[in-house]
Amino acid sequence: MKKRVSGLLVIVMAVLLFAGCAAEAAPAAAESAGGAALSGTLSVAGSTTVAPPAQALADAFEARYPETRIDVQGIGSSAGMKMLNEGGCEIGMASRELKQKELDWGLESIAIAYDGIAVVVHPSNGVSDLTKEEIQKIFMGEITNWSEVGGINKEILVVSREDGSGTRGAFEEILKLEGDEGSMVIESALIAEGNGAVKANIASKSQAIGYISLGIVDETVKALQVDGAEVTVANIKSGAYGVSRPLNMATKGEMSELAKTYLDFVMSPEGQKIVAEHYIPVVD
């Protein structure tokens, strides 16, 4: 009888000990569950330049928080800011500084990366370096033949971006191609929607010149030096390459917990490492 009672005591003590350990572990488990419990859908819309890293960030974020969905739409910087202002998305993407009217709407932005705008030509083009002034004159139609800048005797085909493009806005601002009546780019310019479309046109037209984000430059096009400086990360950071711009994410008013957590992730070491696969991170 004593042995049976003794055995029961051992079982009871073991149960109590297990319960005590479980109670000590409970706060940690609750804390972990609290992080994973983040849920909901977040709409991010705007610049086609910012969209690729934003999508890569979204994929990593969703892996960390399986109950969330980040919907990234590349619709152009201006369209994204308008959508943000009207409540169609919670985070807007802009591949340029915000305009005064957008600031007046109450939009606020944070730079998540920096990008160089590469001035590109067909790989067969013999021209390798242009000054800012020469680029400006080409896009205004004052220089119309490659022979005028050291190339072959062939008419220049200017390729530009659509209205509302953040890349176009930044390019025209930097190259002083904005006049009182709007863009000063030659009217005969071929308009392509999106960085990819510009690159495809340059790659298929030997006389063409255009501009694209550094992040999508590949062997199908040739990036020109500008004022003797190559479009490299080091030259952009130092300011030697002058055709560059910030890549921003913008918000309006108080953010949801999901939006705040996503932006915190974007600016975290892990997030900036993902950004660095596409562009120049703001946090090393």
Mean pLDDT of the 106-117 span? 94
pLDDT of 278: 81
Alpha-carbon distance 146 to 121, whole Å? 11
User: Residues of 134-150 as b/e, b for ≥16 C-beta within 10 angstroms?
Assistant: bbbbbbbeebeebeebe
* Both structure tokens of 139: 């896009």
> Which of 161, 146, 149 minimizes the C-alpha distance to 208?
146
- Strand-pairing partners, residue 280, are 114
3-state class of 233 per DSSP?
helix
Mean pLDDT of the 201-214 span? 96
Mean pLDDT of the 186-212 span? 96
User: Residues of 24-46 as b/e, b for ≥16 C-beta within 10 angstroms?
Assistant: eeeeeeeeeeeeeebeeebbbbb
> Which of 167, 189, 150 minimizes the C-alpha distance to 47?
167
**At residue 5, what is the residue type?**
V
- Per-residue pLDDT reduced to its tens digit, 1-10: 444 444 433 3
Measured CA to CA in angstroms, residue 119 lies from 50, 212, 220 at distances of 18, 7, 13
- Strand-pairing partners, residue 222, are 121
Mean pLDDT of the 163-179 span? 89
pLDDT at position 18 over 80: no
Residue that the structure tokens 């983040």 belong to: 38
pLDDT at position 237 over 80: yes
pLDDT of 195: 92
pLDDT at position 33 over 50: no
pLDDT of 166: 85
Residue that the structure tokens 């590949």 belong to: 218
pLDDT of 10: 39
Residue that the structure tokens 């001035």 belong to: 119
pLDDT of 146: 98
| Residues across the chain | 284
Mean pLDDT of the 199-217 span? 95
pLDDT of 115: 86
Alpha-carbon distance 8 to 181, whole Å? 92
CB 40 within 8 A of CB 17: no
- Per-residue pLDDT reduced to its tens digit, 50-85: 999 999 999 999 999 999 999 999 999 999 999 999
pLDDT of 21: 38
pLDDT at position 19 over 90: no
pLDDT at position 30 over 70: no
pLDDT of 164: 84
Q: Say what percent of the chain tops pLDDT 70.
A: 87
pLDDT at position 24 over 60: no
Domains for the chain: give ranges and CATH numbers.
40-114+246-281 (3.40.190.10), 116-244 (3.40.190.10)
pLDDT of 1: 45
Q: Over the chain, what is the mean pLDDT?
A: 88
